[in-house]
């Protein structure tokens, strides 16, 4: 449907024909996802191995593409991160593929973070001095992994040019909510099935739809505000509720319902040797990740938007919206600041 929408004239009505509407909405009903492109479409389900990895071979013998020398952590997953390719792109450019693979590498590297989080959760439930010692050790392992995520994210600059991204790639992500024209999408044939409802969630893909980063926030106790009516809280809730695969949503709900959260444990045992410092180091690493995210938004969205306005002899008015319809730079700055404020 995205191809159909964005190959129409810019000023044309966005009418999705019945032949697309009916099968699309039926699939969306099963997946519990909106009829628009999401982060999971572009990233999570859009990669494959270049060469099938040999699980029995040592990491040094795995095929590796793009030397990961900038990554400080020695991990068996590192070579695999450079043995992947994209399945589909809109533009056929290497820049678009690298933009997707950057996030895919972050997600794959994040598996180790999830494993560490599970180990910590198990020990929180066990309790006792030995458990606190293991939790401290695990947190010392978590911080470098998050730093790896930040470095992988920063490496997008090696393969994706900001001007190519802004002018050739990014327009494909615009949903109804983030379209410059704000033209309403009309789904033909929607009344033929009583189970269909008019889609209202039609944003584009966003990193805010990554369950990995949300999981790190929840696990480390990073708060983005308590006011459910505030824009950051409302937006994050929308991304989780409507745009993530349902199993990812279920996992985040589990983390929220955890009766023994990590931050409360650290607060209650802040005098335990090394525990507080290890926790704060992980939060600081997550802040570093968000620093890179701020840089990416400034470099790949705000900067090209400003230069484009100058070329047209205009001034950049108001905020530059992200593909999900929010104030792109303001939002990532707020999440970065909230992360910093979460240290104990």
Task: Place 326 in a pLDDT band, splitting at 50, 70 and 90.
Answer: low
The half-sphere exposure of 140 on its side-chain side, counting CA atoms within 13 A, is 10
Give the pLDDT confidence of 187-226 residue by residue, as tens digits. Answer: 999 988 899 988 989 988 998 899 999 999 999 999 887 7
CA dist., res. 339 & res. 271, Å (int): 22
Q: Give residue 58's pLDDT.
A: 53
Helix axis angle, 211-220 relative to 94-126, nearest 10°? 30
As for how many domains the chain has, the answer is 1
Task: Place 107 in a pLDDT band, splitting at 50, 70 and 90.
Answer: very high
Contact 99, 163 (CB under 8 A): no
Per-residue pLDDT at 317 exceeds 90: no
DSSP for 234-250? HHHHHHHHHHS-HHHHH
Task: Place 57 in a pLDDT band, splitting at 50, 70 and 90.
Answer: low
Per-residue pLDDT at 77 exceeds 60: no
DSSP state, residue 170: G
Contact 224, 217 (CB under 8 A): yes
Per-residue pLDDT at 64 exceeds 70: no
Helix runs in 165-274, H state only: 211-220, 231-243, 246-257, 262-268
Point out the least confidently predicted range of 9-18, 134-143, 275-284, 289-298: 9-18
Per-residue pLDDT at 263 exceeds 90: yes
Q: The CATH number of the domain where 55 resides is what? A: 1.20.58.480
Prediction pTM value? 0.88
Which structural domain, as residue segments, surrounds residue 286? 2-341
Per-residue pLDDT at 73 exceeds 60: no
CA dist., res. 218 & res. 22, Å (int): 37
């Amino acid at each position: 449907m995205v191809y159909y929408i964005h190959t129409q004239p810019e000023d044309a009505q966005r009418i999705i024909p019945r032949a697309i509407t009916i099968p699309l909405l039926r699939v969306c009903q099963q997946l519990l996802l909106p009829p628009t492109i999401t982060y999971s479409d572009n990233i999570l389900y859009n990669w494959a191995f270049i060469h099938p990895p040999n699980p029995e071979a040592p990491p040094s013998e795995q095929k590796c593409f793009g030397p990961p020398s900038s990554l400080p952590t020695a991990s068996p997953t590192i070579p695999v991160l450079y043995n992947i390719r994209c399945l589909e792109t809109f533009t056929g450019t290497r820049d678009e593929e690298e933009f997707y693979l950057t996030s895919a590498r972050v997600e794959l590297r994040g598996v180790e973070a999830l494993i560490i989080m599970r180990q910590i959760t198990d020990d929180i439930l066990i309790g006792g001095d030995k458990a606190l010692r293991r939790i401290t050790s695990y947190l010392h392992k978590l911080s470098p992994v998050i730093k790896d995520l930040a470095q992988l994210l920063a490496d997008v600059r090696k393969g994706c040019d900001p001007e190519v991204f802004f002018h050739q790639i990014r327009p494909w992500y615009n949903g109804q909510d983030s379209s410059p024209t704000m033209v309403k999408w009309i789904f033909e044939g929607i009344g033929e099935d009583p189970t269909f409802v008019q889609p209202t969630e039609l944003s584009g893909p966003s990193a805010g739809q990554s369950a990995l980063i949300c999981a790190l926030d929840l696990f480390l106790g990073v708060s983005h505000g308590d006011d459910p009516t505030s824009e950051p809280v409302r937006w994050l809730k929308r991304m989780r509720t409507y745009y993530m695969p349902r199993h990812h949503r279920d996992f985040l709900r589990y983390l929220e319902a955890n009766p023994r959260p990590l931050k409360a444990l650290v607060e209650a045992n802040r005098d335990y040797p090394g525990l507080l410092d290890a926790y704060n180091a992980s939060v600081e690493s997550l802040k570093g990740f968000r620093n890179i995210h701020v840089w990416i938004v400034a470099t790949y969205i705000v900067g090209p938007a400003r230069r484009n306005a100058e070329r047209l002899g205009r001034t950049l008015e108001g905020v530059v919206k992200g593909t999900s319809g929010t104030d792109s730079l303001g939002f990532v700055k707020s999440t970065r600041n909230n992360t910093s404020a979460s240290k104990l």
